[in-house]
Amino acid sequence: MSKIVILGAGISGHVAASHLRRKLSKEHKVIVVSPNSNYQWIPSNIWVGIGRMKSKEILFPLAPLYRKKNITFLQAKAVSFHPEGDPKESKPYVLSEYVVGEKKGTQEKVTYDYLINATGPKLNFEATDGLIPGLNKTYSVCTYGHADHAWHGLNELIQEMKKGKKAKILIGTGHAKATCQGAAFEYILNVEQELRKHKVRDMAEVTWISNEYQLGDFGMDGMLLSYKGMTMKSSEMVEMIFEDRDIKWILGAGVDKIEDGLAHYENLDGEHKTESYDFAMLIPAFSGHGFKAFDKDNQDITNKLFKGFMIVDADYTSKPYEEWSVQDWPETYQNPSYKNIFAPGIAFAPPHAISKPRKSKNGTDISPAPPRTGMPSGITAKLVADNIIDSIKKGKESLEHKGSLGNMGAACIASAGYGLTQGSGVSITTYPIIPDYHKYPKSQGRQLGKTFGEIGLAGHWLKLALHYAFIYKAKMKPFWWLIPE
Amino acid sequence: MTERISKSQRFKMMNPIIQFFKFIYLSIKIMIVVAGGHGGTREVK
Ligand SMILES: Cc1cc2nc3c(=O)[nH]c(=O)nc-3n(C[C@H](O)[C@H](O)[C@H](O)COP(=O)(O)OP(=O)(O)OC[C@H]3O[C@@H](n4cnc5c(N)ncnc54)[C@H](O)[C@@H]3O)c2cc1C
């Protein structure tokens, strides 16, 4: 009998749990430890943040599903890692603390044979002074709660605009090293369309603020795309969309402080500037959760497991941008010190960024951290689950399933406005996710036919279709496994 | 506001019939890119 513990029930944790349960016989235990009682399909938070979807449409409670599927669910949060056990407990374990019910606040040693750390990012709002969702007129759409709140804030402003108020809306990244530009990009386009629908577009100045050096960088070093038979830079495509929608932009901006309606930032020229706004949605920095790890003698071994996020089979040797290669990126997401620990999704420590790192004239790092979107999060979780399943079945370590982001494609279907006939989407695919400048030297590290962009109503339908398909899959309804990650 | 997307392009982008075929085309193309497999990068072939 093997016991597999999964920390986190987001995209990667839930994918891993469902595949493990489907493919392993009942004698093996699958345990999910996660503090949130609900599963949420995060990509649809964009529509919650413009009031076009209710948060209940993008989430469902995990406990009944897990009960039905024979997955043990502990509504608790991981506190510390003990991969060798301790003087009293010979098995490796994760110290977890219950967050609800009678056991709230009590800690339990959750022992395991295999551990999947799928805790994603910590939304590190504290890294930017004054950036608190719902305060200082700034909002977030990173969780359904935040997105609900953002819609209330936006709706209040729209009502004021209807009465004649002129307003400034600022959307983008709220930290010099933030990532997830794609989500902010979707949100700004959706907000812009909503303003038009509410007939207040002419009352608003809409501005994109970002730590990207160029538009369309998306933390992926930008890309060359096939678009309508031409080869276009993603910067040109986004510029075209923004100009067409009358969206202004501020680039190379490291937001470092927020005051009521004021975003202070430093730019790459080293200038300190301030942008005022009436409503802002700024993506915070993402960081690791600050977990600690201890050996069997209770000595601190955090640096064997964590480098901010969890250490996996990446090459973490520090090297200049020019020497970065796809081989630096992990393939199996296994921790090199403890081979029964894995970290798919956002939980693993990337070897470095994807976008070229840049510093301001004052030496401040202002460039995007690497994004890890939903699709690769699901794929890496599935391959981790498959390797664990093989290892259990064969009785010895098996790492046949590999999936480097340097040998994997991703689709980013960015909503650009909601509505079955009036909606729009920007569909972008990239292959590979990490540019391979050796393999594709003439097309900015990516294969052109597989890296393409499209704009139009079909993109909105696609995003909506993905919403329903992935919620169906997450609910583990009949034949859910036929839907790819 | 600069009209960067012409009226005829916008018509094509928002026309439900054209976009229905685009939807099918994009779904297949995305499946090919995303579900087209993945692997390592380090093995010397
Ligand atoms: C607004 C927004 C829109 C997005 N849109 C898209 C999109 O259109 N397409 C796309 O591909 N990607 C999109 N993404 C990115 C996508 O959501 C992430 O890639 C994905 O959620 C990462 O999955 P994960 O499982 O690694 O992390 P998460 O989904 O963040 O899950 C982490 C889990 O860990 C749990 N957890 C946290 N702390 C602990 C702890 N101490 N112990 C145990 N569990 C813990 C959390 O409760 C959660 O269940 C978007 C992201 C955002 C914020």
| A345 C-beta closer than 6 A to ligand 1 | yes
Query: Which of ligand 1's atoms lies nearest the C-alpha of A9?
Result: 49
- Each of the 485 residues of chain A gets a pLDDT tens digit; together they read 999 999 999 999 999 999 999 999 999 999 999 999 999 999 999 999 999 999 999 999 999 999 999 999 999 999 999 999 999 999 999 999 999 999 999 999 999 999 999 999 999 999 999 999 999 999 999 999 999 999 999 999 999 999 999 999 999 999 999 999 999 999 999 999 999 999 999 999 999 999 999 999 999 999 999 888 889 999 999 999 999 999 999 999 999 999 999 999 999 999 999 999 999 999 999 999 999 999 999 999 999 999 999 999 999 999 999 999 999 999 999 999 999 999 999 999 999 999 999 999 999 999 999 998 999 999 999 999 999 999 999 999 999 999 999 999 988 888 888 899 989 999 988 999 999 999 999 999 999 888 888 899 999 999 999 999 999 999 999 999 999 88
Q: How far is the CA of A120 from the centre of ligand 1 (A)?
A: 5
| Alpha carbon of B45: minimum distance to chain A alpha carbons (Å) | 14
Task: Give how many domains chain A has, as a whole number.
Answer: 1
Q: How far is the CA of A42 from the centre of ligand 1 (A)?
A: 7
CATH of the domain at A112: 3.50.50.100
Q: How far is the CA of A178 from the centre of ligand 1 (A)?
A: 15
Query: Which of ligand 1's atoms lies nearest the C-alpha of A49?
Result: 1
- Say if the Cβ atoms of B33 and A429 lie within 8 Å: yes
Predicted local distance difference test score (pLDDT) of residue B1: 67
Tell me if A31 is assigned to some domain: yes
Predicted local distance difference test score (pLDDT) of residue B31: 86
Does residue A404 sit at the B interface (CB-CB below 8 Å)? yes
Say whether pLDDT at B44 is over 60: no
Tell me if A463 is assigned to some domain: no
| Alpha carbon of B8: minimum distance to chain A alpha carbons (Å) | 13
Query: Which of ligand 1's atoms lies nearest the C-alpha of A10?
Result: 31
Tell me if A481 is assigned to some domain: no
| Alpha carbon of B13: minimum distance to chain A alpha carbons (Å) | 4
Using most ligand atoms within 8 A of CB, pick from A15, A39, A42 the residue to mutate for ligand 1. Answer: A42
A174 in Cβ contact with A210 (< 8 Å)? no
Interface of B with A in 1-45 (CB under 8 A): 1-5, 12-16, 19-20, 22-23, 26-27, 29-36, 38-42
Using most ligand atoms within 8 A of CB, pick from A39, A66, A119, A383 the residue to mutate for ligand 1. Answer: A119
B33 closest CB neighbour out of A329, A409, A436:
A409
Residues of A186-202 as b/e, b for ≥16 C-beta within 10 angstroms?
bbbbbbbbbbeebebbe
Chain B interface disruption, residue of A243, A245, A431, A457, most B CBs within 10 A: A457
| Alpha carbon of A402: minimum distance to chain B alpha carbons (Å) | 5
- Say if the Cβ atoms of B19 and A404 lie within 8 Å: no
Chain B interface disruption, residue of A454, A464, A468, most B CBs within 10 A: A454
Contacts of B14 in chain A (CB under 8 A): 421-422, 424, 456-457
| A36 C-beta closer than 6 A to ligand 1 | yes
| A11 C-beta closer than 6 A to ligand 1 | yes
Tell me if A450 is assigned to some domain: no
Chain B interface disruption, residue of A189, A429, A438, most B CBs within 10 A: A429
Q: Which domain holds residue A294?
A: 3-122+288-394
| A280 C-beta closer than 6 A to ligand 1 | no
* CB-facing half-sphere around the CA of A409: CA atoms within 13 A: 22
- Say if the Cβ atoms of B23 and A331 lie within 8 Å: no
Tell me if A175 is assigned to some domain: no
| A388 C-beta closer than 6 A to ligand 1 | no
Tell me if A86 is assigned to some domain: yes
Report helix, strand or coil for B29.
helix
Query: Which of ligand 1's atoms lies nearest the C-alpha of A346?
Result: 26
Tell me if A321 is assigned to some domain: yes
| A382 C-beta closer than 6 A to ligand 1 | no
Tell me if A206 is assigned to some domain: no
| A430 C-beta closer than 6 A to ligand 1 | no
